[in-house]
């Protein structure tokens, strides 16, 4: 593990292989006899490490980073060794109570009031699913008991999120029986943020048509361009309309550790639930998502089911059995790695690293702005820059799309830097997202040099 991390920069951030080329390297049938560990580890080095995507590589500037810090890796090793299942207090008193401690530490670090309690899940997708299941339950239709089918009393249910909201919100609606039609995609302004007046109009139109609005999802840091929905204005509407407000800040949430940067989050303290992913910008090994909520009893109403074999003598005591708040029973001891990491970095260390990433993104945005051949395509509220090559008098939009795709591909083929893309207003947009623990200024400078080389080629 140490060797891998020490040599990470000598490796390609993305292996130059074709899909389907790996499977034939492995035996088609399972081993009948036990094999020596040395042989297994040799094969690990030969077959696994060179064919992995370099999420731990400082040149990883694609998607949103997930880096595993050394302290987090140690936490994962100890988690595996101690082998806890955090489903009941009885099945792991320490995993249960340390989860309460860590959730509360993170709440304080993010500057949120004590009214927020919560839990740890695997991903933001699960956290948002749980939040929206609770919102559905809180709508008073007792879906947990009665379901959604064969109920003539039930109007069509509606959830609202911006056109730029993450696909996990739509998936949650698919999973919860609301369907993709149950999600209303509210139009955005020219900064890619939800337009509150359009939200109001959508809700009014749905009510007039006999549909039942239940929740609104505001995003602070959208996936494509890291746009910030106006949470305060959305909270006003949610409050007036009696809707559950869920804030998805899976990527950007850790910025709230910096008190002077909290303006972007104004209004999120009024949310019913908030998701922030430590496995994105808090350098925690996948997986770790934090779901904070002021309405734990609604989560419990949505998911609690206690068969006899899960009943324990402690049930009358004030213990928390976390499985009652989630769809799954077995739960990982995620609090351990977070506890270790929070102590290892200190909030001060985390703030310093996040601030550095914010500064690097601003520097990159300036280089783009200052070069007449390049164009920035969105504001940079956090650490992600959206841009494209666009020299004066150049080509059609379709041609620009193709050329920018080729530029990104050329950079990625170097193996030094890994970028990803999105589409903004239909335009092919290169994204450079800084969030890897090991990324330094020289990597961002290298990305810029490679982009310009590729463009002139």
Ligand X SMILES: Cc1ncc(COP(=O)(O)O)c(C=O)c1O
Footprint on this chain of ligand X (rule: CB under 6 A): 64, 123-125, 166, 168, 219, 221-223, 248, 250-251, 277, 289
- Length of the chain as a residue count: 457
In the bound state with ligand X, the residue whose beta carbon lies nearer, of 267 and 301, is 267
Nearest to 387 by CA among 436, 421, 418: 421
Nearest to 437 by CA among 347, 349, 327, 370: 349
CA 277 to chain centre: 5
The residue (of 170 and 401) whose beta carbon lies closer to ligand X is 170
Q: What's the min distance (Å) between Cβ of 60 and ligand X?
A: 14
Nearer to ligand X, 88 or 434 (CB): 434
Residue 63 C-beta: closest distance to ligand X, Å: 6
In the bound complex, what is the minimum distance in angstroms from residue 248's beta carbon to ligand X?
A: 5
Q: What are phi and psi of 420, to 5 degrees?
A: -130, 180
* 351-387: burial string, b at 16+ Cβ within 10 Å, e else: bebbbebbebbeebbebbeebeebbbbbbbbbbbbbb
| Nearer of residues 56 and 66 to ligand X, judged by Cβ | 66
- DSSP secondary structure of 244-277: EEEEE-TTTGGGGGSGGGGGGGTTGGG-SEEEE-
- Toward ligand X, which CB reaches closer, 51 or 167? 167
Cα dihedral across residues 413, 416, 420, 421: positive or negative: negative
Strands 157-162 and 212-219, sheet pairing:
parallel
Contacts of 268 (CB under 8 A, 6+ apart): 112, 218, 220, 231, 247, 249, 256, 274
In the complex, what is the shortest distance from the CB of residue 255 to ligand X, in angstroms, rounded to a whole number? 13
Least Å distance between CB 278 and ligand X? 10
Min CB(366)–ligand X separation in Å: 25
Task: Between 206 and 248, name the residue whose CB sits nearer to ligand X.
Answer: 248
**What is the DSSP secondary-structure string of 378-442?**
S--SSSEEEEEE--TT---HHHHHHHHHHHHHHHHHTSS-B-EEEEETTEEEEEEE---TT--HH
Least spacing, CB of residue 121 vs ligand X, in Å? 9
Q: How far is Cα of residue 369 from the mean position of the Cα atoms in its chain? A: 28
**Nearer to ligand X (CB atom), residue 192 or residue 251:** 251
CB 264 → ligand X: shortest distance, Å? 13
Rank residues 21 and 167 by Cβ distance to ligand X and give the closer one. Answer: 167
């Amino acid at each position: 593990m140490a060797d891998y991390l020490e040599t990470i920069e000598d490796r390609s951030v993305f292996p130059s292989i074709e899909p389907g080329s790996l499977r034939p390297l492995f035996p088609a049938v399972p081993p009948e006899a036990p094999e020596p560990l040395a042989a297994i580890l040799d094969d690990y080095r030969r077959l696994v490490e060179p064919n992995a995507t370099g999420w731990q590589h400082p040149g990883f500037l694609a998607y949103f980073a997930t880096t595993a810090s050394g302290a987090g890796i140690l936490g994962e090793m100890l988690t595996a060794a101690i082998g806890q299942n955090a489903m009941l207090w009885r099945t792991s008193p320490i995993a249960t109570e340390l989860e309460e401690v860590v959730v509360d530490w993170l709440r304080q670090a993010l500057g949120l009031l004590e009214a927020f309690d919560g839990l740890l899940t695997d991903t933001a997708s699960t956290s948002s699913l749980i939040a929206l299941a609770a919102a559905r339950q809180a709508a008073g239709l007792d879906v947990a008991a009665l379901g959604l089918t064969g109920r003539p009393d039930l109007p069509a249910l509606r959830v609202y999120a911006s056109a730029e909201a993450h696909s996990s919100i739509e998936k949650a609606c698919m999973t919860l029986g609301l369907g993709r039609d149950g999600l209303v995609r509210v139009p955005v302004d020219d900064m890619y943020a939800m337009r509150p007046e359009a939200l109001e109009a959508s809700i009014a139109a749905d009510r007039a048509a006999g549909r039942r609005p239940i929740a609104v999802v505001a995003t602070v840091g959208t996936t494509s361009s890291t746009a910030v929905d106006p949470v305060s204005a959305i909270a006003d509407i949610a409050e007036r309309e009696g809707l559950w407000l869920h804030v998805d800040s899976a990527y950007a949430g850790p910025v709230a550790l910096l008190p002077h940067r909290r303006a972007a989050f104004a209004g999120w303290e009024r949310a019913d639930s908030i998701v922030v992913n430590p496995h994105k910008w808090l350098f925690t090994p996948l997986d770790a998502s934090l779901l904070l909520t002021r309405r734990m009893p609604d989560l419990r109403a949505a998911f609690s089911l206690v068969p006899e074999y899960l009943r324990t003598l402690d049930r009358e005591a004030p213990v928390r059995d976390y499985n009652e708040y989630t769809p799954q029973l077995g739960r990982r001891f995620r609090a351990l790695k977070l506890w270790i990491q929070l102590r290892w970095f200190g909030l001060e260390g985390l703030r310093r690293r996040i601030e550095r990433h914010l500064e690097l993104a601003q520097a990159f945005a300036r280089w783009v702005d200052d070069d007449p051949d390049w164009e920035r395509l969105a504001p940079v509220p956090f650490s992600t820059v959206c841009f494209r090559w666009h020299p004066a008098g150049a080509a059609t939009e379709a041609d620009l799309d193709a050329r920018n795709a080729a530029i990104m591909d050329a950079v990625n083929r170097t193996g030094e830097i890994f970028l990803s893309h999105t589409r903004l207003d239909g335009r092919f947009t290169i994204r450079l997202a800084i969030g890897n623990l090991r990324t330094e200024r020289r990597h961002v400078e290298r990305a810029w040099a490679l982009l310009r080389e590729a463009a002139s080629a």
